[in-house]
Structure 1
Amino acid sequence: MPDDHRGTIQDTPLATALSERYLAYALSTIMARSLPDVRDGLKPVHRRLIFAMRQLKLDPGSGFKKCARVVGDVMGKFHPHGDMSIYEALVRLAQDFASRYPLIEGQGNFGNIDGDNAAAMRYTESRLTEIAAALLDGIDEDTVDFRATYDNEDSEPIVLPGAFPNLLANGAAGIAVGMATSIPPHNAGELCAAAIRLIRDPETPTGDLLDIVQGPDFPTGGELVEDRETLRAAYETGRGSLRVRARWTKSDLKGGMWQIVVTEIPYQVQKSRLIEQVAELLAERKLPLLADIRDESTEHVRIVLEPKSRNVDPDMLMASLFRATAFEQRFSMNMNVLDADRTPRVMSLRDMLRAWLDHRHVVLERRSRHRLAAIARRLEVLEGYLAVFLNLDEVIRIIRTEDEPKQALIAAFSLTDTQAEAILNMRLRSLRRLEEMEIRKEHKALSAERKSLAAMLADPAKRWARIEAEIEDTRKRFGTGPLGVRRTTIGAAPTVVEVTAEALVEREPLTVILSDKGWVRALKGHVAADADLRFKEGDRLKFLLRCETTDRIAVFATNGRIYTIRAADLPRGRGDGQAIRLLVELGNEDDVVALFVADQAARYLVANTAGRGFIVAGAELAAEKRTGKQILTVKPGEEAKLCIQASGNHLAVIGQNRKLLVFPLDQVPEMTRGAGVILQKYKDGGLADAKTFTLADGLTWRLGDKTRTETRLADWLGARGQAGRLPPSGFPRSGMFGDGAG
């Protein structure tokens, strides 16, 4: 502060003073801490770490040095902040589960995916990786600007040359003041290929670039489950939310048992915390399909999940875990970065690649001009050397006899000051003939290089061709091999898997028994039709259905409604069972017409006593409520008569008047609900029975213990709604088709 201002008090509104100070703090946080630079993808602390390690000569081919030494140099020379914050940044750059392409190679304990911390910096060692060396490549060739460090004793680069697409390859995350950034890592090979595509066609839209850059490529692998449109919107706007799931496989065990093995978990999820979360939900009985979870991980992730029973569906089990645990994680994308003008803004995928390419173009131009200047200086010296070899004796005489040999050389041979100084500094051994040949050879090579560089600087097409070649070299170095293989697979948006109650039931065979008076029970196993079944006095068997515990049983009643009962909910044992009216809301005046397991892929014929009916899809014969679902509309005085599976191509209908009519099944419409159409006309009585069949196979009915098939049906063939005629001789007097009816 100037001396004339000391002791001076200036009145300032509090709002103004606060806004100025807060703005200064916000700008410092945004530009010097939290947001990465779009050109090299680094925050200041990371850039200073890499630059300081280069000054310590911690190149990929050199030995390791203690991390404490590195942190000390960074803190003392470049980054005046706490040593632990610097060390944490160093550790993250070395963790292969945190960085897709680590910039630092660590030796010692650098933490693990369980969330354990790294050892103290006095115990660990580090050096740069090949990728960090690529980011630094050309930094001594005036490719980037430097600025003074915080104490003005040294200088540091504002940005690195960045021959590697680090921002998108490794991603970034940070919270500034009023803004944040969250960029997922990507595959370097895909990024380089997309950049080359952008060089060849600068107008390539982001949507086309996504044909090359498939999506994020997390270091921990996993599966990205988003549709193409969601990805496109996220990469075009720079903002979005992407779902990542753990990778799992089903492993079969003995006795029909199986287990699920998880080998990859979502990015930034701590494995130990994930297992604790699942264990807590198990204890709270919120994961009914899961029996146990075990961690069998070594250096590779292996989490074993045991189902409650072998009949649990694996997809349903994993769906419940994805819904309730961190086995599925959302990654919020917010590609907010500092552009080349140090202005924070959200960029699209195309904008980021374009900014990196523009930076590489600037680096190439500056490096080329720096090289041209170096070539010019060297050629100047070489031309002076050649002058020496052409007049060697005179040069030696001048040096031996003149008091001011430098000025004499300049005057005698028209040399520059630089050339004269170089000649005077020459060693005597350099005066041999072989050395003259080497000088001429070097002069020729440098002249050719100067001509090539000048031509490249004059032609933008040649510059971009050089950049394309450099990026292709980067792709081959880092985009192939074990490091470059894509780890995160790109999947489609998953279908919603509902965890149903049947999934909790072990699949076993059952026989459902429904008596004439409406008592229902289930017997274990499949009971034969002639088995000795006991009922209450005056009661008898009405329906016997063989099914499994996981089935949903359809009950069709005389009121035309369909009800659904889970087989596992039926009472077991040898007792009388339970009244079916307690399981579904069936009125005392209503009765059960059909009891079956509906095939969702099949079609069914429903009809009432008046001879009206229609075809209904099997998928419609399900009801979620106890009150059921109205399928067949019945008028007063009418009842639903039957519900049978419709197969074949013809329908045979017989009335209580013993009139038989056969007509094509396609004359009966398919509906979801309604009163139906007339199947057969009656003067007296109503519908007795119906049966679908294939005309070529004939119509079959049961008479006692025998069956009979009639293939000559021309006399009974007609159109829907006719009266029909008396059935063939030998047809049951009961007017029913017998067991063949359904």
Structure 2
Amino acid sequence: MGKSELPPGGGDHIQPVDLRIALEERYLAYALSTIMHRALPDVRDGLKPVHRRIVHAMSEMGIRPNSAYKKCARIVGDVMGKFHPHGDQSIYDALVRLSQEFAIRYPIVDGQGNFGNIDGDNPAAMRYTEARMTEVAALILEGIDEDAVDFRPTYNEEDREPIVLPGAFPNLLANGSSGIAVGMATNIPPHNVHEICDAALHLIKHPDATVENLVEFVQGPDFPTGGTIIESRASILDAYATGRGGFRVRAKWNLEDLGRGGYQIIVTEIPYQVQKSRLIEKIAELLIARRLPLLEDIRDESAEDVRIVLIPKNRTVDANLLMESLFRLTELESRVSLNMNVLSMGKVPKVMSLKEVLVEWLAHRREVLVRRSRHRLAEIDRRLEILGGYLVAYLNIDEVIRIIREEDEPKQTMMARFNLTDLQAESILNMRLRSLRKLEEFEIRTEFDQLSAEKAGIEALLASDEKQWQTVAWEVGEVKKKFAKATPLGRRRTDFADAPSTDSAAIEQAMIEKEPVTVVVSEKGWIRALKGHISDHSGLQFKEGDSLKIAFNAQTTDKIIVFTTGGKAFTLGADKLPGGRGHGEPLRIMIDMENDQDVLTAFVFDAQRKLLVSSHLGYGFIVPEADLVANTRKGKQILNVAMPDEAKLVTHAIGDHVAVVGENRKMLVFPIAQMPEMSRGKGVRLQRYKDGGVADIKVFRMDDGLSWDDSAGRNFNRTKDELSEWLGDRAAAGRTVPKGFPRSGKFAG
């Protein structure tokens, strides 16, 4: 609709607005509001607006650490009515989180009643619960009444609220924070206050300190729920240097001996922000789905402390292997991300490094110190002025009494008579009669001297940057003493360890239920796995026009190698094969097998064996079976063949000699030592042919002789002496096969 098509303005005062501009303005306003006033914490006090308002409201209500508990409904009502015009439930949720010992490292609210638990159960309604501040909250507020921070009008301009709190406690790093704004998010895990204070003190002494220096003090997060961090030091250093990264955290566990070789595993600490009940449900679901074959059962015996009991299938189960499989599949191992996106100086959202966060917190502490000092200086000046007036009054007490009794305007008369200020005259007039005793003059002079000395000290402090930083360091040192690692609250709960170097293949096997299966591959390339070991394959059903190519016994924990005529090897997990119902699935769905290639053979993988692979034209080599394993759909090229040649034979290389039979019915026997061992290639010529190619190959021990079965099932064996005329070197033409050799040209008859 163009401007000319817009409806004309009438009595409704309709104004045309460009939709794009309107959306941009409104969305930008919403985004800024979310970033500045909801989701991101301030780097100085580590609080979001809702938390700051809760703490401030409790301060205004006089709910101190040593005072009585007050109903949470009262606190929420005050916060909502005076400072935070949003839903009461969102305010109560924030209040509850500030009190949960499993959610916040150093609780800011001391709750009484049901405030939820680590299982994820909800807290009681706010009308039932009570709260008061903790020492941490008192530290964050310290100096709020001494002009330490700026205030602004509240949303209805009836009251005033602090823009930021003084923050004597390093709350941002100590308690962490998380939030999702518009186009950005933040996630800061909790840390140990003792370590933060050590890093801050080091930074005061050495302003040029690098993040590497600071990480010597702040080793990593310290979660309220404990656990073990298994991240490398290099990764932790990079996270603190860039402000972005993550930490892998594992549950803490130990073995409990049950005697006679039996044991059970006790999990005592779980990763941060993992709900215990959901964790146990997940493990139980995996047990039912038979994804944890090494685990028999799980029990929750937790009371005040976490105690999850894991019972192994039997006493021979490797506890480390069992736990590694659980770490892979469940939240017993989780990743806690670090994204230190905070409001720098309360205005600019910015991803900060560890050093930048500490620098801004210390700068704020210095500013608070200066502001509190100036406030105290003003108070001292005012008091000294009053005390000066009092001394004048004492020296001229009779005259002062006469003026008060007789003059109509005693204040003005006194000011003129004794050269007093308005404040001094007012203070003298407001004196109590009991203050006129002799002792008072001495007390006033003492107080005057003390305040004068304090004033000189503050003026010296304000004049010296060095003294200011010394005072900030002393304040940080006091916080460190209060929350030292020697105290129950201050001790480090999360420790560090290197991830155990457990065999990856062994862990994968540990996660599969071991069951016997029979793998069946059809001529047209369909595969399936029937339960149990089946010896009679005559009853197997196939699609019309299809038949059995190969069938062999395996376990669900085995790897199956599929070798194709194109010389490629593919790896499949026996547990991943389609079940025995129906005809299975085409192999081409599971692996990227080319259309002009077919399945040559399939077998159970054995890392200890070696294979002899050969093409139709008689080129081949020895390959370790371990080199055949490929973890992708594309497989691994082993034998290089070019049309019209193709891979023809794969046989186990167990023995010291090789017997090769060509389609021309000539046989050659040569030492296997003449065959090269490779992981990929065309190979070398095994036997020379004028026409045709290789028919069959057998690797055997010369001491045992060369044996074969004919079509009638009779067994033939030729000893070393009997084979002398066929013995030669690799790539020779060979001699016509011995008498009794099967017409099929195969050693198996």
- Asked if TM exceeds 0.5, the reply is yes
Partner of 1:357: 362
Is 2:271 the counterpart of 1:266?
yes
- Whole-Å separation in 2 of the counterparts to 1:123 and 1:298: 23
1:446-595 to 2 correspondences below 5 Å: 446-480=451-485, 481-498=487-504, 500=506
Instruction: Select 1:175's aligned residue among 174, 177, 180.
Output: 180
Query: Hey, what does 2:554 align to over in structure 1?
Result: none
Paired AA for residue 54 in structure 1? S
SS of equivalent residue, structure 2 residue 334? strand
Q: State the match for 2:723 in structure 1.
A: none
Output the amino acid matched with 2:172.
L
Correspondence for 1:373: 378
Q: Which residue does 2:580 correspond to in 1? A: none
The C-alpha deviation readout for 1:204-240, integer Å capped at 9, x for no partner, is: 1111111100101011000111101111111111111
Which is worse superposed, 76-85 or 484-493? 484-493
Residues 32 and 283 of structure 1: CA distance in aligned 2, closer, same or farther (over 3 Å): same
Q: Cα–Cα, structure 1 residues 177 and 505, in superposed 2: closer, same or farther, change >3 Å?
A: closer
Shift of 1:407: 1.0
Give distance in 1, aligned partners of 2:336 and 2:241.
Answer: 16
Q: What is the aligned partner in structure 2 of residue 668 from structure 1? A: none
Q: Name the counterpart of 1:393.
A: 398
Describe the shift of the 1:497–1:247 C-alpha distance in structure 2 as closer, same or farther (beyond 3 A): farther
Supply the distance in 2 between the matched residues of 1:271 and 1:226 (Cα, whole angstroms). Answer: 23
Alpha-carbon separation, structure 1, partners of 2:360 and 2:679: 60
Residue 59 (1) aligns with residue 90 (2): no
Aligned-pair CA distance for 1:495: 2.4
Give the deviation of 1:401 after TM superposition: 1.5
Return the alpha-carbon distance in structure 1 between the equivalents of residues 363 and 608 of structure 2. Answer: 68
1:273–1:398 Cα change, 3 Å: same
Partner of 1:601 in structure 2? none
Query: For the residues of structure 1 that align with 2:322 and 2:605, how far apart are their CA atoms?
Result: 33
Write the distance in 1 (CA, Å) between the matches of 2:68 and 2:383. Answer: 34
Match of 1:403 among 403, 408, 416: 408
Which range is displaced more, 249-258 or 197-206?
249-258
Indicate the residue corresponding to 1:311 in structure 2.
316
SS in 2 for 1:486: coil
Distance 2:500 2:391 in 1: 75
Q: Distance in 1 between matches of 2:10 and 2:216?
A: 64
Asked whether the 8 Å contact 1:183–1:333 carries over to 2, the reply is yes
Q: 1:308 deviation in Å?
A: 1.2
Contact 1:316–1:499 (CA under 8 A) maintained in structure 2: no
Gaps of 5+ in 2: 1-8, 514-556, 558-600, 610-623, 630-649, 660-667, 684-700, 704-749
In the superposition, the TM-score normalised over structure 1's length comes to: 0.70
Instruction: State the 1:597 CA deviation.
Output: 9.9
Q: What is residue 418 of structure 1 aligned with on the other side?
A: 423
Instruction: Tell me if structure 2 keeps the 8 A contact 1:139–1:161.
Output: yes
Q: Note the alpha carbon deviations across 1:10-57, whole angstroms, 9 max, x for none.
A: 332110000000000111111111100000000010000011111111
Listed as ranges, the matches of 1:264-343 within 5 Å are 264-343=269-348
**Cross-structure match for 2:204:** 199
Partner of 2:110: 105
Task: Give how far 1:310 is off.
Answer: 1.2
The one-letter code of the counterpart of 1:287 is L
Q: 2:57 is aligned with what amino acid?
A: A
- 1:234 lines up with 2:221 in the alignment: no
Relative to structure 1, is the Cα distance of residues 355 and 632 closer, same or farther in structure 2, using a 3 angstrom cutoff? farther
Query: Aligned equivalents of 2:451 and 2:60: distance in 1?
Result: 30
Q: Which residue of 2 aligns with 1:187?
A: 192
Give the residue type in structure 1 aligned to 2:362: L
Deviation at 1:632, TM superposition (A): 8.1
Shift of 1:148: 0.6
Residues 406 and 420, structure 1, Cα contact 8 Å, conserved in 2? yes
Q: Is the 2:484–2:491 Cα contact (8 Å) retained in structure 1?
A: yes
Residues 237 and 493 of structure 1: CA distance in aligned 2, closer, same or farther (over 3 Å): farther
Q: 1:265 to 1:447 in 2, by over 3 A?
A: same
Given the alignment, which residue of 51, 66, 79 partners 2:84?
Answer: 79
Residue in structure 1 matched with residue 100 of structure 2 by the alignment: 95
Sort the Cα spacing of 1:407 and 1:633 in 2 relative to 1 into closer, same or farther, 3 A: farther
Counterpart mapping for 1:547-696 below 5 A: 637-639=669-671
Q: Which amino acid aligns with 2:495?
A: T
1:39 aligned residue: 44
User: Residue 141 in 1 paired to residue 146 in 2?
Assistant: yes
Q: CA deviation at 1:289?
A: 1.2
Q: Distance in 2 between matches of 1:5 and 1:208?
A: 70
Cα distance in structure 1, aligned partners of 2:11 and 2:385: 57
How far apart, CA to CA, are the structure 1 residues paired with 2:424 and 2:294? 86
Q: Find the counterpart in structure 2 of residue 243 from structure 1.
A: 248
**Deviation per CA, 1:253-307, whole angstroms, max 9, x where unpaired?**
1221111100000000000000000000111111111111110000100001111
Partner of 2:722: none
Bigger drift between 235-244 and 209-218 goes to 235-244
496-505 or 396-405: which moved more? 496-505
Identity of aligned residues (%): 60
Q: 3-state DSSP class of the match of 1:218?
A: coil
Which residue matches 1:50? 55
C-alpha offsets along residues 340-368 of structure 1, whole Å, 9 cap, x if unaligned?
A: 05111111111101110010011011000
- Residue in structure 2 matched with residue 439 of structure 1 by the alignment: 444
- Write the distance in 1 (CA, Å) between the matches of 2:464 and 2:10: 57
Q: Structure 1: 5+ residue runs without aligned partners? A: 507-549, 551-580, 587-595, 599-619, 642-670, 676-685, 689-742
Asked if the contact 1:135–1:161 (Cα under 8 Å) also holds between the matched residues in 2, the reply is: yes
Q: Which residue of 2 aligns with 1:124?
A: 129
**Preserved contact between residue 152 and residue 162 of structure 2 (Cα < 8 Å):** yes
Report the Cα distance in structure 1 between the residues aligned to 2:149 and 2:271, rounded to whole angstroms. 37
2:316 is paired with a residue whose SS is coil
* Alignment: residue pair count: 550
Amino acid across the alignment from 1:415: L
Q: Secondary structure at the residue paired with 1:294? A: strand
459 and 439 in structure 1: CA distance in 2 versus 1, 3 angstrom threshold: same
Alignment RMSD (CA, Å): 3.4
Q: CA deviation at 1:418?
A: 0.4
Supply the AA of the counterpart residue of 2:479: T
Whether the 8 Å contact between 2:292 and 2:511 is mirrored in structure 1 is: no
Q: Is the partner of 1:484 in helix, strand or coil?
A: coil
Task: Give me the whole-angstrom Cα distance separating, in 2, the residues matched to 1:640 and 1:297.
Answer: 64
The offset of 1:390, in angstroms, is: 1.2
Matched residue SS, 2:89: helix
Letter in 2 for 1:498: S
Amino acid of the structure 1 residue aligned with 2:76: V
Matches of 1:471 and 1:258, distance apart in 2: 47
CA–CA separation in structure 1 for the residues paired with 2:370 and 2:229: 40
- Quote the Cα distance in structure 2 between the aligned partners of 1:125 and 1:372: 39
SS in 1 for 2:478: helix
Pairwise CA distance, 1:492: 2.3
**1:364–1:583 distance in 2 versus 1, CA, 3 Å:** closer
User: SS state of the match for residue 292, structure 1?
Assistant: strand
Give the 3 Å change call, closer, same or farther, for CA 505–68 of structure 1 in structure 2. closer
Where 1:250 maps in the other structure, the secondary structure is: strand
Once residues 584 and 91 of structure 1 are traced to their aligned partners in structure 2, the CA distance between those partners, rounded to angstroms, is 57
Check the 8 A contact 1:311/1:505 in 2, yes or no. Answer: no
